[in-house]
């Protein structure tokens, strides 16, 4: 499972539960929200792992648990060779030089009463580090690097636009030259014309400083743009994890297929002629998740076995991990897949995708139990194909 | 359906030279200026733009939701032969939720948390016609079923917090459609929802539109949603419409550099991955200190190609460039098309 470049972060069997308490004086614990329930993954050096999922999937809780901003219930988190879940808040301090965070909302993540210089320089003060040339010079160099005017050192956050504020948050995160940055929806609060600026900045900084990112987002197109590998979460569990283009062109988990098919494509010809997998209903409650596979209540592949047995995350092809009893390699004819989209003949020339490493061959699928083979006749009943227009 | 005094061939909704300005301590905020639009009955118009572009203010002006005590609204809004600007409050009240209905972005803050959803829908019915409590409830239940609420007979007595985000938006849609509106304005109806739920809601809106023949204005920032639902698109920037076109034309032959910039800066799942996104440089203009010339000029890559620096000093007009295709740009049409095809070919080709 290790990458050739080495690991910066390894998370093993992470569980983060939140207690649910009764109303009234005593407030007994009457249940648990299993926000993250047994998640394992790693992030390599100078690599970006995209973590996608819908709201309630637990992706933000993973992000916060990794930096011990919430205490995990169980599991191991190893950052740059050091296990951190048993460390006291004080003992965690040196770890925070290695791992930083960028937050979703650039309006709430910056103290409005501190100057930009104070905000970006805070990591030096807190860690007791004197950068060569002094804090002010270091901060101004950072400001310049992320595309801010260094002369605005003494301004306050409210004088900046959303995109500029996110640049402030990024400068603060890279100040200590960490090895890992956890990005929690860093562009979802920004306008589309600004999103691209920030994505490019994050990629440039990664190359320059050799940063690793755990990039948490709900937008599949954004995650594709920045990630080397992608992990898909649903209701506290990892459903699928694979190299980027494998996820987008050859996914195996029914949930990944559904997610991709729900993304509206900004091309009216393709979008209006497209058939989609319509997931029925909503996310089940994480207080009382379904037995067996958590996705089975909305899954078009679901069988009896799915309600009994939790599917483990298995490596079906090199680097391609799937947690499903009945993975789907090909959808019935007419169903949308990213690959079909790429192979469709558009008006403008399109380059063909490179064969992604770690694609699953049919031989590898044959190693699955006989009843685990994708079967298009089984697919049809629950899938609504086509639009009603 | 037209009233006397207006020729029958007038479009169902026509906006002429709409301007909305809010005086503030920092200066006059020109939220919307010179917006002109028309929509034929039964069609879907998408208004696309970023935050601060004026798209929501335009919608609120149509709904008569802008407080005339704090803002100035000028121009004309003709709905089915009736002028809406300056309409007395009572007439507007009768129109809202009746002939014209609106769905908002956040269903949690648009539904009253203390009332059962069924009661909120029946209240909407009773506001527009005299109807018995039983009949109103039956009508509400029927509409909840129609918008796909499972076990609607139980859900009708739920409070909003007991419903998921997608279910709440379905309740909002039921409430909006309960009085059979002719015009539905949906202001970012799926922005707060997950992508799989968004797909459900968009399909619901398009299928209901087909069934009831409603005219829809869809306000969104998402070009994927526009491609999904719209017949025509109006692109807004800096309080203005900068380009209008049939949806297919807008994506294949955009002519305004801003539209082109938007289309080439979004990451996509349907194409070969581009190594680098091409962002639009800079930031949107302040609605208080708008540029003197073209509002997009400070971020435009091509303004120096226009002779005499007109982009710096002269506001361009929204002019026809093709069938149903209007552009607000000083560049010559031929040059705009060349630029556009060049950029789109590069974007489609990946890295």
Tens of pLDDT along B138-172?
999 999 998 888 889 999 999 999 988 888 999 99
Q: At what angle do helices B257-265 and A192-209 cross, to 10 degrees?
A: 50
Place of tokens 């599917």: A311
Q: Based on the number of CB atoms within 10 Å of its own CB, is A64 exposed (0-12), middle (13-18) or buried (19 or more)?
A: buried
pLDDT-above-70 percentage for chain B: 97
> Cβ–Cβ of A272/B284 closer than 8 Å?
no
Q: Give the integer Cα–Cα distance in Å for A146 and A152.
A: 13
Domain annotation covers residue A241: no
A99 vs A6, A30, A66, A288, CA distance in Å?
16, 35, 9, 33
The answer, yes or no, to whether residue A275 has pLDDT greater than 80, is no
Phi, psi for A202 (deg, rounded to 5)? -60, -40
pLDDT-above-90 percentage for chain A: 66
pLDDT for residue A5? 52
Question: A264 and A219, same structural domain?
Answer: no
Residues 183-202 of B with CB under 8 A from A: 194-200, 202
Mean pLDDT of B312-338: 95
Question: A219 and A279, same structural domain?
Answer: no
Question: A209 and A100, same structural domain?
Answer: yes
pLDDT band at A67 (very low <50, low <70, confident <90, very high): very high
The answer, yes or no, to whether residue A1 has pLDDT greater than 70, is no
Give chain B's end-to-end CA distance (angstroms, integer): 53
Q: Higher confidence at residue A20 or residue B296?
A: B296
Residues in chain B: 351
Interface contact B265, partner A, CB < 8 A = yes
Place of tokens 């034929």: B40
The answer, yes or no, to whether residue A389 has pLDDT greater than 50, is no
Q: Give the integer Cα–Cα distance in Å for B99 and B179.
A: 8
Residues 122-181 of A with CB under 8 A from B: 161, 163-164
Interface contact A264, partner B, CB < 8 A = yes
The answer, yes or no, to whether residue A360 has pLDDT greater than 50, is no
DSSP per-residue letters across B30-81: EEEEEEEEEE-TT-EEEEE--TTSSHHHHHHHHTT-S-TTT-EEEEEEEETT
pLDDT for residue A354? 36
The answer, yes or no, to whether residue A169 has pLDDT greater than 90, is yes
Give domain limits for chain B: 109-180, 254-348
Average pLDDT, chain A: 84
| Order of strands across the sheet that contains B215-220 | B100-103, B183-187, B215-220, B44-48, B232-237, B240-246, B325-328, B318-322
Question: A225 and A150, same structural domain?
Answer: yes
pLDDT for residue A274? 75
- CATH code: domain of residue A176: 3.40.50.300
Q: Could you tell me which chain B residue has the CA closest to the CA of A199?
A: B277
Contacts of B166 (CB under 8 A, 6+ apart): A282, B193, B194, B197, B200, B201
Mean pLDDT of B294-305: 95
- 3-state SS, A50-102, equals EEECCCCCCHHHHHHHHCCCCCCCEEEEEECCEECCCCCHHHHCCHHHHEEEE
The answer, yes or no, to whether residue A149 has pLDDT greater than 80, is yes
Contacts of A107 (CB under 8 A, 6+ apart): A157, A162, A165, A189
pLDDT for residue A332? 54
Rounded to a whole number, what is the largest CA-CA distance in chain A?
Answer: 69
Mean pLDDT of B295-316: 94
DSSP per-residue letters across A284-331: PPTTSPPSSSTTGGG-TT--HHHHHSPPP-EEEETTEEE--SS--SSP
Core vs surface per residue A255-265: b (16+ CB within 10 A) or e:
bbbbbbbbbbb
Q: Higher confidence at residue A22 or residue B101?
A: B101
- Could you list the residue range(s) of the whole structural domain that residue A262 is in? 250-379
Question: A336 and A223, same structural domain?
Answer: no
pLDDT for residue A338? 44
pLDDT for residue A105? 83
Contact present, A336 and A345 (Cβ < 8 Å): no
Mean pLDDT of A346-367: 37
> Cβ–Cβ of B277/A225 closer than 8 Å?
yes
Q: Give the integer Cα–Cα distance in Å for A388 and A275.
A: 10
Strand partners, A182: A101, A214
The answer, yes or no, to whether residue A272 has pLDDT greater than 60, is yes
Question: A226 and A260, same structural domain?
Answer: no
Q: Give the integer Cα–Cα distance in Å for A267 and A341.
A: 11
pLDDT for residue A357? 40
Domain annotation covers residue A242: no
Phi, psi for B73 (deg, rounded to 5)? -120, 120
> Cβ–Cβ of A218/B194 closer than 8 Å?
yes
Interface contact B51, partner A, CB < 8 A = yes
Domain annotation covers residue A281: yes
Q: Give the integer Cα–Cα distance in Å for A29 and A22.
A: 6
Question: A136 and A268, same structural domain?
Answer: no
> Cβ–Cβ of A351/B349 closer than 8 Å?
yes
B189 vs A257, B192, B210, B306, CA distance in Å?
24, 8, 18, 39
Interface contact B164, partner A, CB < 8 A = yes
Contact present, B287 and B29 (Cβ < 8 Å): yes
Mean pLDDT of A3-21: 87
Facing B269 at nearest CB: one of A248, A279, A351: A248
Domain annotation covers residue A243: no
Contact present, A116 and A152 (Cβ < 8 Å): yes
Interface contact B348, partner A, CB < 8 A = yes
Mean pLDDT of A255-277: 86
Tens of pLDDT along B54-98?
999 999 999 999 988 899 999 999 999 999 998 998 999 899 989
pLDDT for residue B8? 55
- Three-state DSSP class for residue B245: strand
The answer, yes or no, to whether residue A75 has pLDDT greater than 60, is yes
Tell me the nearest-neighbour CA distance from B128 into chain A, angstroms. Answer: 30
Q: Higher confidence at residue A237 or residue A376?
A: A237
Facing A266 at nearest CB: one of B223, B276, B277: B223
Contacts of A263 (CB under 8 A, 6+ apart): A220, A221, B195, B224, B269
Tens of pLDDT along A93-143?
999 999 999 998 888 899 999 999 999 999 999 999 999 999 999 999 999
Q: Give the integer Cα–Cα distance in Å for B113 and A266.
A: 36
Core vs surface per residue A8-22: b (16+ CB within 10 A) or e:
bbbbbebbbbbeeee
* Residue A33, H or E segment: strand A29-44
pLDDT for residue A331? 65
Mean pLDDT of A138-157: 96
- Three-state DSSP class for residue B158: coil
Contacts of B338 (CB under 8 A, 6+ apart): none
What tokens were used for A183?
A: 């990005």
Question: Which residues from chain A sit within 8 angstroms of residue B223, using beta carbons?
Answer: 192, 266
Domain total of chain A: 2
Q: Give the integer Cα–Cα distance in Å for A36 and A16.
A: 5
Mean pLDDT of B240-248: 97
pLDDT for residue B270? 83
> Cβ–Cβ of A163/B283 closer than 8 Å?
yes
The answer, yes or no, to whether residue B125 has pLDDT greater than 90, is yes
Counting Cα atoms < 13 Å in the Cβ hemisphere of A78 gives 14
Mean pLDDT of A33-48: 95
Q: Give the integer Cα–Cα distance in Å for B48 and A194.
A: 16
> Cβ–Cβ of B196/A191 closer than 8 Å?
no
Contacts of A4 (CB under 8 A, 6+ apart): none
pLDDT for residue A179? 96
pTM listed for this prediction: 0.85
Interface contact B148, partner A, CB < 8 A = no
Question: A60 and A135, same structural domain?
Answer: yes
Question: A178 and A62, same structural domain?
Answer: yes
> Cβ–Cβ of A260/B221 closer than 8 Å?
no
Tell me the nearest-neighbour CA distance from A218 into chain B, angstroms. Answer: 8
Mean pLDDT of A269-288: 81
Residues in chain A: 389
What tokens were used for B166?
A: 């997608």
Mean pLDDT of A315-335: 83
Question: Which residues from chain B sit within 8 angstroms of residue A269, using beta carbons?
Answer: 248, 251
pLDDT for residue A280? 77
Facing A265 at nearest CB: one of B227, B230, B262: B227
Closest CA to A120 of A165, A173, A69: A173
Interface contact B43, partner A, CB < 8 A = no
Contact present, A199 and B277 (Cβ < 8 Å): yes
Tell me the nearest-neighbour CA distance from B244 into chain A, angstroms. Answer: 15
**How many Cβ atoms from other residues are within 10 Å of residue B200's Cβ?**
22
Q: Based on the number of CB atoms within 10 Å of its own CB, is A252 exposed (0-12), middle (13-18) or buried (19 or more)?
A: buried
Contact present, B238 and B295 (Cβ < 8 Å): yes
């Amino acid at each position: 499972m290790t990458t050739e470049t080495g690991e910066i972060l390894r998370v093993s069997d992470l569980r983060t539960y939140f207690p649910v308490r009764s109303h009234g004086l005593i407030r007994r614990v009457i249940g648990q929200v299993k926000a993250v329930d047994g998640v394992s993954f790693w992030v390599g050096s100078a690599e970006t792992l995209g973590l996608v999922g819908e709201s309630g999937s637990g992706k933000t809780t993973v992000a916060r648990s990794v930096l011990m901003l919430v205490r995990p219930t169980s599991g191991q988190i190893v950052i740059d060779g050091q296990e951190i879940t048993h460390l006291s808040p004080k003992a965690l301090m040196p770890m925070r030089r290695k791992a930083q965070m960028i937050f979703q909302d650039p309006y709430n993540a910056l103290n409005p009463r501190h100057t930009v210089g104070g905000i970006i320089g805070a990591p030096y003060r807190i860690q007791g580090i004197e950068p060569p040339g002094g804090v002010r010079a270091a901060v101004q160099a950072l400001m310049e690097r992320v595309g801010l005017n260094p002369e605005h050192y003494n301004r306050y956050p409210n004088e900046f636009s959303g995109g500029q504020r996110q640049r402030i948050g990024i400068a603060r995160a890279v100040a200590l030259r960490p090895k890992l940055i956890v990005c929690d929806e860093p562009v979802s609060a920004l306008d589309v014309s600004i999103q691209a600026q920030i994505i490019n900045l994050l990629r440039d900084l990664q190359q320059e400083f050799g940063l690793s990112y755990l990039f948490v987002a709900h937008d599949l197109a954004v995650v594709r743009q920045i990630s080397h590998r992608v992990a898909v979460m649903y209701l506290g569990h990892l459903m699928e994890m694979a190299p980027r283009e494998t996820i987008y062109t050859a996914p195996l988990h029914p949930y990944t297929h559904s997610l991709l098919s729900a993304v509206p494509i900004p091309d009216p010809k393709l979008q209006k002629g497209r058939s989609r997998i319509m997931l029925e209903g909503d996310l089940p409650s994480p207080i009382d998740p379904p037995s067996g596979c958590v996705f089975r209540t909305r899954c078009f592949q679901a069988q009896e076995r799915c309600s009994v047995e939790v599917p483990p995350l298995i490596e079906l092809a090199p680097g391609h991990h799937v947690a499903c009893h009945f993975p789907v390699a090909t959808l019935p004819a007419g169903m949308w897949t990213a690959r079909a989209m790429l192979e469709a003949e558009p008006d403008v020339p399109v380059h063909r995708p490179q064969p992604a490493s770690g694609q699953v061959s049919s031989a590898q699928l044959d190693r699955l139990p006989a009843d685990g083979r994708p079967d298009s006749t089984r697919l049809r009943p629950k899938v609504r194909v086509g639009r009603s227009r | 359906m037209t009233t006397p005094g207006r020729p029958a061939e007038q479009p169902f909704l026509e906006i002429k030279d709409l301007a909305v300005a809010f005086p503030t301590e920092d200066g006059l905020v020109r939220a919307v200026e010179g917006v002109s639009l028309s929509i034929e009955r039964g069609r879907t118009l998408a208004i696309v733009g970023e935050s601060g572009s004026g798209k929501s203010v335009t919608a609120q002006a149509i709904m008569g939701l802008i407080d005339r005590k704090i803002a100035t609204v000028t121009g004309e809004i003709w709905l089915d032969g009736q002028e809406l600007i300056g309409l007395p409050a009572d007439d507007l009240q009768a129109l809202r939720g009746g002939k014209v209905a609106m769905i908002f972005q956040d269903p949690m803050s648009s539904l009253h948390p203390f009332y059962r959803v069924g009661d909120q829908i029946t209240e909407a019915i009773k506001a527009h016609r005299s109807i018995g409590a039983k009949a109103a409830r039956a009508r509400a239940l029927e509409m909840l079923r129609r918008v796909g609420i499972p076990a609607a007979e139980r859900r009708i007595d739920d409070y909003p917090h007991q419903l998921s985000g997608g279910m709440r938006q379905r309740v909002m849609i039921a409430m909006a459609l309960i009085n059979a509106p002719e015009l539905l304005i949906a202001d970012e109806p799926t922005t707060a929802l997950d992508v799989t739920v968004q797909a459900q809601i968009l399909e619901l809106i398009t299928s209901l539109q087909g069934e009831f023949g409603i005219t829809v204005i869809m306000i969104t920032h998402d070009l994927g949603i526009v491609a999904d639902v719209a017949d025509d698109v109006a692109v807004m920037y800096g309080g203005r419409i900068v380009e209008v076109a049939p949806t297919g034309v807008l994506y294949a032959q955009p002519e305004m550099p801003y539209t082109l910039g938007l289309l080439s800066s979004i990451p996509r799942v349907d194409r070969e991955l581009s190594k680098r996104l091409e962002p639009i440089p800079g930031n949107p203009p302040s609605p208080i200190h708008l540029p003197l010339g073209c509002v997009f000029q400070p971020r435009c890559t091509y303004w120096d190609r226009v002779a005499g620096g007109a982009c710096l000093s002269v506001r361009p007009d929204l002019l026809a460039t093709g069938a149903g295709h209007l552009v607000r740009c000083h560049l010559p049409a031929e040059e705009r098309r060349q630029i556009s095809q060049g950029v789109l070919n590069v974007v489609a080709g990946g890295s």
